[in-house]
Amino acid sequence: MSRRNKILVPEARQGLDQLKAEIANTNSPEEAKYEMAREQGIPFRKGYNGDLTTKEAGKVGGSLGGQMVKELVKRATQQLNQNQ
């Protein structure tokens, strides 16, 4: 089963990249995945990563994406509470 990681609202790309960098405590969204890999002890590096297992690669993206979703839900909940 193939997945399509296409953002439905292309205008949201900049905001998502900013959130990714914020969650990983980096200045750049590109560095976020490397920081998450370092935190988990996964030898993810720039360039070729074909020696990583599927499980290791999934931990990097899954962890970052999961934290982004949690943060978005938290912010939405706070916004709804402020509007009531």
Confirm whether 56 is domain-assigned: yes
Confirm whether 68 is domain-assigned: yes
Structural domains in the chain (count): 1
Confirm whether 71 is domain-assigned: yes
Confirm whether 51 is domain-assigned: yes
> Structural domain of residue 31, as residue ranges?
12-83
Please, what's the b/e burial string for 26-63 (b: 16 or more CB within 10 A of its CB; e: otherwise)? beebeebbbbbbeeeebebeeeeeeebeeebbebbeeb
Global pTM value: 0.71
Query: Both tokens of residue 13?
Result: 């790309």
Confirm whether 6 is domain-assigned: no
Confirm whether 34 is domain-assigned: yes
Report d(CA 21, CA 18) in Å as an integer: 5
pLDDT of residue 79: 93
Q: Quick check: 19 and 68 in contact, CB under 8 A?
A: yes
Confirm whether 3 is domain-assigned: no
Kindly report, residue by residue over 46-84, the tens digit of the pLDDT: 888 889 898 988 888 888 888 899 999 999 999 999 988
Report d(CA 46, CA 3) in Å as an integer: 23
